[in-house]
Chain A
Amino acid sequence: MKKLLFILLFPLVLLTQSAAIRMDQAEEAGARIKAIYIYNFTKYIEWPSDYKEGNFVIGVFGTNIPLLNELNKMATSKTVGSQKLEIKNLSNPNDAAACHIVYILSDNSSQLADVVTKVKGKSALIVTDKAGMAKQGAGINFSVVENKQKIELNKANIEKYKLKVASTLVEMAVQVK
C-alpha cells in the first residue's frame, strides 16, 4: 500500500494583485472634463464670420501636460464647423491676439491683464481657472462647486469681443457681472 504523499497548500496570496492608482488617471479625468467644456464653448459661442476661416486656435498659457494632451487629442478628432482645431501652448501675451480661445491656467493668472490688453479689438474668448478672474476680464472662469467642475460666465466680458453667447450656456453657468 502506498504511503500518503505530503503536499503543501499553494499560497493563494501570490494570486492576489493590488491595482495601484495612477495619479495621471486623476489628472487626465480632470483635464477631460475641461476639454469637454471648452469644446462646448465652441458650440454655444459664435465668432464673427471673419474668424470662421483657417484653423480654430486654442491658446493655452501655462504648463499642464495632461490638459495639453487632452486638448491635442480632441484636436485630432473634432472640428469647429469646417475649421480644424489647433492647440498652441503660449508664453507671450502678444500671441493671444491670434487665438479664438485663450485659456489662462491658474498658475499664469497674473498674465490675464496683459492678455486683455493684447486681445482688445479682437474676437477672443478668455477662459481662466482661478476664483475672481471673471470679474477681472475673463469671459468664462472654471470654478469648483461642491466638488464639481462648474463655470462662471461674465456675459459682458464675452460680448465686448464681438462674440455671441447662447442663452443656454448663460443659463448653465454661474453668472458674474
Chain B
Amino acid sequence: MCLALLLLLAVVADAQQSKVSAAYTFLKSEQLDSAKASIDAAVLHPETSANGQAWYLRGFVYKSIYNKQEKVNKLSPSRLEALSSFRKSLSLDTTQENRQECIKNIKYLATTLYNDAAASLDSVEYKVAIGNFGKFKEYYLLVDPTPANIQQKDIDFTLAIASLYTKIFESDRKGKTEFLKLAKEAYNKILTIDPNNIFANYNMGILFYNQAVNLINQSDYDLDIVALNDIQDNSINLFKESLPFMEKAYELDPKRRETLLGLSGIYFSLNEFEKSNMYKQKLEEIEKHK
C-alpha cells in the first residue's frame, strides 16, 4: 500500500494532487469521512477520474470505512463502493503491482461477502444471502477466473439455499408452497451445471417423494373413493418423478444408505414390493458388513 501511494503521489499533479494527498493524510489519521469527501471529489474531477491510483486509494478509504463502521452490516454500501473502486483501478492501471494490490483487496472483500451470504442463510435473511452471493461471484471472477472454481462455489451455495427453502416449506407445507417450487428450481439449476451431483439428485428425489407421501397422509378418512383415486394418481405421478433422481443417486453411489432407503420407500409406495425388498436387502447387506 505504501509504495503504491508513493507512486500515486508522484503522478498526480496540480490542484487534484492536493485532494488525493489530503485523502491519504485523512486516511492515515483515520478521519474517514474527510478522506471519503476528498477522494470522491478527486475521482469525479476530469484530471484524476481516469487515474488508477486515485481509484485504488478510494477503494482503500471505503474498505477502511467498511472495516471500522459497517462490518456488522451485511448490506454495507461502503464495501460495494470499495469493490467497485478496486475494479475501476484494475481497469485503469494494469501494472503488476497495482494488479496485485487490487486483487488482494477484492479477494478480501469478496470473501466477506461470501461469509455474510453464508451467515444470512435463514428464513429471514435469505434474500440478503442471495444478493451478497451474487456480488461475491461478480468480484470473485476478477480474482479467480477459473470457471470450475466459481462453479463449485455456485453449486455449494445453491445446495445450501435449496436446503433452506426445503426447511421453510416443511415448516408450513400449506402456507409456504412457493418454497417447494424454489427448492426444485434450485436443485434443477445445480443439475443443469452438474448432472452427476449426488446431493442434488437425492434431495430432488426426496422433494417429490415427500410431496407424494404428504398428499396421501393429509387426506381425510372421509375422502370419497373417486377423490381417493385422484389422490392416488397424483401421488403415483410424484413417486414416478422422484424415481429417476433417486436412481441416478444410486448409480453415483450404490452403497449410500439414504439412497437405498429412498429407493425402497419409493418402490414400496408404488406397490412394487419385490423391488422395494431388493433395495432393503442391499441395505441390510451393507449394514451387516460395517
Contacts and interface: CB of A to CB of B under 8 A. Distances in A.
A74 interface: yes
A26 interface: yes
Contacts of B111: 7-9
Interface stretch (A56-64, A143-151, A154-162): A143-151
Given A13-B156, A74-B221, A148-B271, A18 B203 contact: yes
Interface residues of B, number: 62
Given A15-B163, A18-B202, A30 B269 contact: yes
A172 B229 CA distance: 10
Interface stretch (B14-22, B91-99, B208-216): B208-216
Contacts of B225: 36-37, 40, 169, 172
Contacts of A40: 223-225, 228
B268 A26 contact: yes
Nearest to A25: B213
Contacts of A77: 221
Interface residues of A, number: 41
A149 B265 contact: no
A149 B217 contact: no
Interface of B: 1-2, 27-28, 60, 64, 67, 104-105, 108, 111-112, 114-115, 118-119, 121, 153, 156-157, 159-160, 163-164, 166-167, 199, 202-203, 206, 209-210, 212-213, 216-217, 219-226, 228-229, 232-233, 235-236, 239, 258, 261-262, 264-266, 268-272
Interface of A: 1-2, 4-5, 7-10, 12-13, 15-23, 25-30, 32-33, 35-37, 39-40, 74, 77-78, 144, 147-149, 169, 172
